[in-house]
Amino acid sequence: MTGGAKREAESLNDSSKNHDDDALKKKKKVEENIVVVTTMSNTNENKIDEDLHSRQLAVYGRESFRKLVGAKVLISGLNGLGAEVAKNVILAGVKKVTLSDDCDATMSDLASQFYLTEEDCGKNRAESCAAKLQELNPAVEVVTVMTKDVTEDVLLAHDVVVVCDSSLHSQQDCEKWDEILRKEKGKAFIKGDTKGVFGSVFCDFGDSFTVVDQDGEEPKTCIIASISNEHPALVTCTDDERVELEEGDLVTFSEVKGMNELNSIKEGVKIKSVKKHGFELDIDASKFSQYVGGGIATQVKLPKEMKFKSFADSLKEPGEFLLSDFAKMERSPQIHLMFLTLEAWKSKNGGQLPQPGSDADAAVFVALAKDEVNAQYKSVEEVDEKLFATFAKTCRGDISPMAAMFGGIIGQEIVKACTGKFTPLNQFFYFDSCESLPEKLEEADLKPTGSRYDGQIQCFGQATQAIMEKQNVFLVGAGALGCEFIKNLALMGVSCGASGEGKLTITDDDIIEKSNLSRQFLFRDWDIKQPKSTCATNAAKKINSKLNVTALQNRVSPDTEEVFDDEFWGGLDVVVNALDNVNARLYVDSRCVYFEKPLLESGTLGTKCNTQMVVPHLTENYGASRDPPEKSAPMCTLHSFPHNIDHCLTWARSEFEGLFEKSPAEANAYLSKPDEYESNARANADASMRENVEKISQCLIHTRCATFQECINWARLRFQEYFHDRVAQLTFTFPEDAVTSTGNAFWSAPKRFPKPVIFSEKDDGHVNLLKAMAILKAELHGVTVGVPSAEVRGDEKAMNKIVVEMAAKVEVPVFVPKDGVKIETDPTKKEGDNDDNGMGGVEDDQIIDDLLTQLNNVRTSDLKGDAEYRLSVIEFEKDDDTNFHMECIAGLSNMRARNYDIAEVDKLQAKLIAGRIIPAIATTTAMATGLVCLELYKVIHKAPLESFRNTFANLALPLFAMAEPIAPKFQTYKDEKWSLWSRWIIEKDYTVRELLKYFEDKELECYSVSYGPALIYNAMFPRHKERMDQKLSELVQTVGKITFPAKRKHFDLIAATETTEGEDIDVPLISIVFR
């Protein structure tokens, strides 16, 4: 018997109370019918691969993730929805997934099931795709079992049971399974279904379910400035940040000096009267000790108990539905009744569904809903006959976007059931996207053709399918979002036309890393270090061999306009963004606006996602609304007064980049062209240039190393400077009892009084930091003398022993604080505003000249004039666990945290913060791409504005907020009307004079013309009159210092104009077609 079957049998035995012959026969039957795809070793029970799952750990945390990796999930029905759920759960990293299905694959399945091929038709769906699902995560045990063999014992051997295909289970079957699972605490039942553009989810987590964290957000904190001895006590917080606590929250206190009684109240204190910078405590503090200073108030996140009704009871009394679209307030009860009516229809018609597009079947379906089902359940006051007819005509459809969306939602509910992390759905969620459908649903058009797209044709029709296949689509990005989009587009038949009709172009300049594999499901272990776009394209061709796709490795930016030229943009039908940064999104958005192309935009952050539709002349563009910039800590806070671990990590990464990347890069710039560099430095002798030359001298003169012992010396002295000497100087300059010019305590909140760290060879944190810094320093200078072998470096105990022995040889000078040292305390000052490095009396040019002379001597003597000598610049890479980058940054940060008595973090937490890792999970990504692809149908059908939806969703709550996109703003003047989508196109290479005349003819005065940052003409500058008769194309290239690519036929100008009445007016971009 295989290991997986044995464990299954053992779990059945554990759950059974009667050990009679019948039970043994049942156990044997289970063993016979379970097919094990792989057997897993349990030697590393619940061990987390943090490199693989770092983005998920950023969402769930270790405690919840450990629960997840011990969970067992049964998924019944491997249609498109079932495959999506299985994919998401396996990527999440549960212990075991059992796939149950009695159905054989058909051509219609291929419209939504991405792990079935035409060769699988006629074979069992679960068995056909099990091996491919197993490839997603070798750490998950994947087994299959026939649905007819799913007994009570099999059900109870799993933590969560999910039904994804209603054709396998009647309503009575689902009620029975749910009741079985409700017998045991900790078991969950989930039922999902998609029919065309309609979908439903039901969750039952039992009579008592504990939500340990309702939203997944970090507890809110406040830094305390004062606390009064009153009833109620008034707490005033520092004015750095607004108090984000809410009325009725519980808070605990730490680090409060004087009023120590608050620190001891571990259960928390209730707050009230929350203001911008303070709140009241519902406690009598009149007899407490006097508040002296300090303190942090931290929100207490309380667990929540939830009680769920059974599936049978919920059908009769569904309660409140989770709303998704405020334009469809009464829609959920109607869809609830639709699915009940569909069950009644199936029972009357041998399990068959209404015929696609059939008016006759639709009429019977509506009558059944009105006369029988609603009469029994009383779900709605009046049946929406048009909506029910639409459902009846399209319910045979099975489309990829709906499977992706609901696969994401259900996948997240499974995680909630297994971990208690986030708030479960309570209990029904219904959704529809009727606006995606064509205007007319005709039986002849919706008739299946025997093709792989029949699941889509039975919902959207053959005409829509033909349009889809001819689309020219540009997908920007092949990461997590990109993989999901590629899969959806391939299943939908987008760009899959015969004879090469339609084309999908995918570009991504990134390569695959191990951490990608937990959510970028098209990639495997053997793809690591390969281009994302190429691997994604190869995987997509396996999903649908008819996909006409081209993979590129170019970043979409102004630098690649020769690749993505006018002809390329002009030939597109739609652009889909799958990017992870705002600047790239803005650039693509600007190209789409210029070429008047629809842009489908989306983004995710942990459990949150947003989608935005940008449709020419219908909506505003992506760049029309911008999030406010993230608040950054002042320079003086990072350098001298950190008060949280984020400050320490930001400082640590900055130091890392300065030591190993920026300074060495500057040194290499000097070494590559020393004469040119020296000439430029002397010609531009200012504080900024002096700083650059000093960086070079540090790298090549003062800290250049030739042996590993010298690298250790450097690391030990740098440790001393960072964590002892600087702090000793700071506390000498500002003693603990220092006061400000206004008489207030200098070291008042949020400042924390620091203490120097004394190096100890017995402290692993100290030794590990020295080790990481020395190894990186050796790499930087190409040191080989005395460097331990790779084998020794990989042995922490042996390597640390060597570091300790070498560090003991270093002579560390005794530090003596100095008077008159200036330490910046002004939070408004920025880096480099006024930094004279303690040499304020000496001119910059003299310092630069002296340093350049020293550098020249080193280059010609020590380096023996080696023109090829360069430093090995080290660029920060957070996801390589062998490069010592994160060890260095985490060590620097934690030593600084010790200076200021701030809680330290482990390497994973340091990676998440310092690496600026965006929390990401497969469930949110799948849902977001499903929502976007539903909007693609609307683009193809040229739907009106009111049909489109922008969405914000948070699966943790859960919350869905859909709204109609905002229309663009229009400007009118005289007889003309324009918006951001408008262009004034001039089919000639005008001179400046001719351009001004062009505006005069529109009764406008143009007083300034620019090309990007380059000012081409301004009426205020007399010398610009010399440009009046010059061609604009010549001026743009001369003034803008650019050369137009050979294929470039136009350029765009920004004109500042005013009316004849002297009022400024914004006009469209001026597009000059000069070739």
User: If you search the block for the tokens 């987390």, which residue do you land on?
Assistant: 48
679's tokens: 């000439």
863's tokens: 């380096």
The residue-averaged pLDDT of 456-480 equals 98
- Burial string for 49-79 (b: 16+ CB within 10 Å, else e) reads bbbbbbbbbbbbeeebbebbbebbbbbbbbb
How far is CA 191 from each of CA 66, 199, 310, rounded to the nearest angstrom? 25, 11, 12
Average pLDDT value over all residues in the chain: 93
pLDDT digits (tens, 9 = 90+) for 609-624: 999 999 999 999 999 9
- Please choose, from the candidates 712, 705, 706, 710, the residue with its C-alpha nearest in 3D space to the C-alpha of residue 771: 712
The pLDDT confidence band at residue 831, using thresholds 50, 70 and 90, is low
Per-residue pLDDT, 23: 37
SS3 310: coil
Our CA dihedral for 800, 801, 804, 808, rounded to 10 degrees, sits at -160
Residue 1019, burial from CB neighbour count under 10 angstroms (0-12, 13-18, 19+):
middle
| Contact between 1032 and 1025 (Cβ < 8 Å) | no
Distance, CA of 882 to CA of 775 (rounded, Å): 11
Residue 865 or 601, more confident: 601
- Please choose, from the candidates 707, 713, 638, 705, the residue with its C-alpha nearest in 3D space to the C-alpha of residue 896: 638
DSSP bridge partners of 953: 609, 960
Distance, CA of 389 to CA of 412 (rounded, Å): 32
- pTM here is 0.91
User: If you search the block for the tokens 């009084």, which residue do you land on?
Assistant: 753
875's tokens: 């660029």
| Contact between 210 and 225 (Cβ < 8 Å) | no
387's tokens: 């909506």
Q: Kindly tell me if the per-residue pLDDT of 10 is higher than 90.
A: no
How far is CA 372 from each of CA 343, 365, 549, rounded to the nearest angstrom? 12, 10, 50
Residue 794, burial from CB neighbour count under 10 angstroms (0-12, 13-18, 19+):
exposed
Going by C-beta distance under 8 Å and a sequence separation of 6 or more, which residues neighbour residue 716?
A: 759, 770, 807, 810, 812
Distance, CA of 781 to CA of 671 (rounded, Å): 14
pLDDT digits (tens, 9 = 90+) for 375-430: 999 999 999 999 999 999 999 999 999 999 999 999 999 999 999 999 999 999 99
pLDDT digits (tens, 9 = 90+) for 107-165: 999 999 999 999 999 999 999 999 999 999 999 999 999 988 999 999 999 999 999 99
SS3 156: helix
| Contact between 183 and 191 (Cβ < 8 Å) | no
Residue 41, burial from CB neighbour count under 10 angstroms (0-12, 13-18, 19+):
exposed
Per-residue pLDDT, 36: 54
| Contact between 79 and 164 (Cβ < 8 Å) | yes
DSSP for 527-567, written as a single string: GTTSBHHHHHHHHHHHH-TT--EEEE----SGGGTTTS-HH
Distance, CA of 933 to CA of 492 (rounded, Å): 9
Per-residue pLDDT, 39: 37
Q: Kindly tell me if the per-residue pLDDT of 27 is higher than 50.
A: no
pLDDT digits (tens, 9 = 90+) for 724-767: 999 999 999 999 999 999 999 999 999 999 999 999 999 999 99
The pLDDT confidence band at residue 7, using thresholds 50, 70 and 90, is very low
How far is CA 713 from each of CA 633, 701, 778, rounded to the nearest angstrom? 32, 15, 12
How far is CA 137 from each of CA 88, 232, 1057, rounded to the nearest angstrom? 11, 55, 60
φ/ψ region of 162 (left if φ > 0, alpha if ψ in -120 to 50, else beta) reads beta
299's tokens: 């929100």
| Contact between 835 and 687 (Cβ < 8 Å) | yes
User: If you search the block for the tokens 């108030």, which residue do you land on?
Assistant: 297
Per-residue pLDDT, 25: 44
In sign, the C-alpha dihedral spanning 53, 54, 59, 65 is positive
Residue 560: how many other CB atoms lie within 10 Å:
14
- Please choose, from the candidates 528, 208, 333, 402, the residue with its C-alpha nearest in 3D space to the C-alpha of residue 932: 402
Q: What are residue 655's phi and psi, to 5 degrees?
A: -65, -45
Per-residue pLDDT, 794: 87
The pLDDT confidence band at residue 38, using thresholds 50, 70 and 90, is very low
Residue 500, burial from CB neighbour count under 10 angstroms (0-12, 13-18, 19+):
exposed
The full 3-state SS of 614-633, as one line of letters, equals ECCCCCCCHHHCCCCCCCCC
Q: Kindly tell me if the per-residue pLDDT of 44 is higher than 70.
A: no
Alpha helices in 383-435 (DSSP H): 385-394, 400-419
pLDDT digits (tens, 9 = 90+) for 648-685: 999 999 999 999 999 999 999 999 999 999 999 999 88
Distance, CA of 95 to CA of 48 (rounded, Å): 11
End-to-end CA distance of the chain: 75
pLDDT digits (tens, 9 = 90+) for 274-304: 999 999 999 999 999 999 999 999 999 999 9
pLDDT digits (tens, 9 = 90+) for 896-933: 999 999 999 999 999 999 999 999 999 999 999 999 99
CA 133-138-141 angle, to 5 degrees, is 75
SS3 930: helix
896's tokens: 């600084």
Q: How do strand 198-204 and strand 188-195 relate by DSSP bridges?
A: antiparallel
Distance, CA of 377 to CA of 387 (rounded, Å): 18
Distance, CA of 718 to CA of 707 (rounded, Å): 17
Residue 39 or 843, more confident: 843
Per-residue pLDDT, 45: 52
- What letter would DSSP give residue 120? G
Q: Kindly tell me if the per-residue pLDDT of 1014 is higher than 90.
A: yes
Tell me the one-letter amino acid at 219.
P
Residue 615: how many other CB atoms lie within 10 Å:
27
Q: Is 222 a catalytic residue?
A: no
Tell me which of 121, 496, 636, 888 is the catalytic residue.
636
